[in-house]
Amino acid sequence: MVLLAALAQPGWAQAPRWQWADAQPFTVRAVAADAAGNAYVTGSFTGTIRVGRFQLTSTSTIADLIVVKFSPQGQPEWATTLGALAPSPVVSNRTYAAGVDISVDAQNGGVAVVGGMSGLFGPNVPGISLDPTRYQGDNMLVLRLSASGQIQWAVQAGSSAGFPTRGNAIATDAQGNSYITGNGYGFALSNGPLISTGARQMFVISLNRAGSFRWNTPTFANLGASGLDIAADEVGSVYVLGSYVGPFSIGGVELARQTGSALARLNSSTGTVVWARGDQEGATSLAVEPQGGAYVAGSFSGTYQLDAASISASAAREAFLARFTAGGAVTWLKALGTITTAGVRVARADTGPVVLLKRSATVAAVLGLSNAGAISWEEQATGVESAEGLAVAPGAGPRQRRVLVGGQFAGRASFPPHTLQANGSSSYLASLLYTVPAAPPASLSATVFPNPARGRFSVLLPPLSGISASLINSQGRVMRTEADFLPGKLDDKQLDVVDLPRGLYILRVSWNGEVTTVQVQLI
């Protein structure tokens, strides 16, 4: 169901509140969300646990990977696990699998996960394991799941010298391709080529929807580098964030700064570098706008500078957020106040970026910002040890947005009015709702909510008589008009689009000489 909400570029939000918060019996490492408001969580677990109605038992000697889909109300809808088998004859009894990052394929409904693994795939896993006599270190694991949680394919990557290969982040695009970044010493894919990187080097690779190798963007830093985060826009680009020590190059582009943070935009079809820049170190997280442009979050002490923009810390360590254009120019740079740990996370919402950080050792904070970088609101949770997972999704109504966060707590944690308790350390998943204020009645605008979507439109418009609307396909043909609205309120209409083919459309709304357009993706 598609909800199109008429909003006049909302720059602030109202009344953020914790909708729900639940303790989880597995380690939560990363969170993603889809257009329907569902949450997808990955991490690891040991022993026998119960997640909702699902009882799960690990098979590895250390831990098994887990992926869980939660409804917008926080109920587990499916849970999938992957364990590691020891080879025969036994090379090592140390076996494990663990999820590190997760991404939702909005167009095709799949889920992609990157993590770590030591051991072999089981007989029910559709994938080829690395030769255990040659690849005995900590290997990277990439897998894709269907919308119902079935593993469609799994790939390992590892070094024959026994050095670790670590996948830190994964992204997907509308074609189902996956993009992975991390750190390694050169590695072989269990279903593909040898990727030569050198020691302690950042890598950026792409796999297609079937898990086959597409491309590798070579990088090199004299003293090492690591890929930290990656994201894909909707217009054919991939943005990757990393850190490096010593002179650094990516895709043949050498950065002027000797040590720091690297941000690069790549062509998603070829891996070719469009542009790359080296900046002051401290960046940790990345989010992109659908039509291009990036948000980068991190931490700094003293003074932090990006081109002509500069901020100064008033505390020992502060968080920052910067926005870059699709061409790599700095739009703005903002300080976000005191933090205690460096792992600042950012996610993109249509109302502006959302940031997750730690204010103190036990206090986590979620901040909502406008598209211009002004802090609109902040909501905190206490008793929190770590805040690692962050995603943004639609809420229950057309003007609501949901922020999903995950991490660890010990003993007792509070997400007011919800309190969690555990014996020792545990993980949590929590949902925060905030409301976007309505546009002034005389202002004509339209926002697709959620986007992409399928089936039926619910169109929320200003309460104005005489509004006309057209849904236009990529060939310029009008597929629906306001005459096709189903009966409803003046400002809340519906369109049935179940018979329209998947693809990009333009919603054109006009009233009293004003015209506004919104790009709509049907899946």
Ordered by where they begin, the domains of the chain are 447-522 (2.60.40.10)
Say how far apart CA 6 and CA 318 lie, in whole Å.
36
Say how far apart CA 415 and CA 408 lie, in whole Å.
13
pTM of this structure = 0.82
Which pLDDT does position 513 carry in this prediction? 67
Confidence of residue 226 (pLDDT cuts 50, 70, 90): very high
Amino acid at 188: A
pLDDT (tens digit per residue) in 465-523: 777 888 888 878 888 887 777 665 555 667 788 888 888 888 888 877 677 887 777 87
pLDDT (tens digit per residue) in 228-254: 999 999 999 999 999 999 999 999 999
Lookup: tokens for 5 = 């909400």
Say how far apart CA 9 and CA 370 lie, in whole Å.
9
Question: 348, 489, 404: which is closest to 73 by C-alpha?
Answer: 404
Amino acid at 498: V
Confidence of residue 10 (pLDDT cuts 50, 70, 90): very low
CB 494 within 8 A of CB 509: no
pLDDT (tens digit per residue) in 65-75: 999 999 999 99
Lookup: tokens for 240 = 């990757």
Confidence of residue 113 (pLDDT cuts 50, 70, 90): very high
